Amino acid sequence: MSKILMLCGDFGEDYEVMVPFQALQAVGHTVHAVAPDKKAGDYVMTAIHDFEGQQTYSEKPGHRFTLNASFAEIDPARYDALVVPGGRAPEYLRMNARVIEITRHFLAADKPVASICHGAQLLAATGLIKGRRLSAYPACQVEVELAGAEYMGIAIDAAVTDGKLVTAPAWPAHPAWIGQFLAVLGTRISL
C-alpha cells in the first residue's frame, strides 16, 4: 500500500479534506496530513462549501481537522503520492515556497497526484502543469489555462485522469475522483 502525503491548511474544504483522508486509510493506505507551521496533533479549521443556487458556493464553518504529521519533518521523497484538497487553503498555500517545492517534487517525479476543486491553484503555481489536462472548480479555469494546461469543463460529479494526475471540480465528484486515484495507485480492493 502507498504512503500518501496530504497538504492541508486552514479553511480547506471540509469534505475534500476529511473524505479522502478517511477513504484512503480505509483501504489500507498510510496518509500523513500536514500544514505549514504545524506539527502532528495540531489542527486546521475546515470550511463547508455548498451549492445553494447563488453565483458561487456558500461557506460555513467546518470542523477542526487534526493533523497526524509534522510539516517541518516532511521529506517528499519518502512518499508515493500526493493529495491536494480544495477550499480556500490552496489560495495561500501556493505562496509558501516549501509547499511549492513539495508539490513540484511529486509532479516532476511523475508520482500519483490527486487534486480537487481549488487545489489546481497550487498545481498551477508550480509551473509544471503545462500541456496537462485537468479539472478544477470552474472559478480556477483561468489559472489552469494561464499555467498552460487544458481546463476540462466536466460535470461536477466527474473526474479526469491525465497520466498519474487525477483532478475533479468539487466534492460531489468524490466517487469518481477517489476511484480514479485508487486505480492510479494500483489499489486492489477485495470483498
Annotated active-site positions, please?
A: 117
- Is 41 buried (19+), middle (13-18) or exposed (0-12) by CB count in 10 A? exposed
C-alpha cell at 137: 472548480
Contact 137/170 with Cβ under 8 angstroms? Answer: yes
DSSP state string for 113-130:
EEEETTHHHHHHHTT--T
**Strand, coil or helix: 4:** strand
Which residues 6+ apart lie within 8 Å of 35 measured at CB?
7, 8, 9, 10, 42, 44, 67, 71, 89
Angle at 151 between CA 150 and CA 157, to 5 degrees: 140
**Rounded distance between C-alpha atoms, residue 134 and residue 142, angstroms:** 12
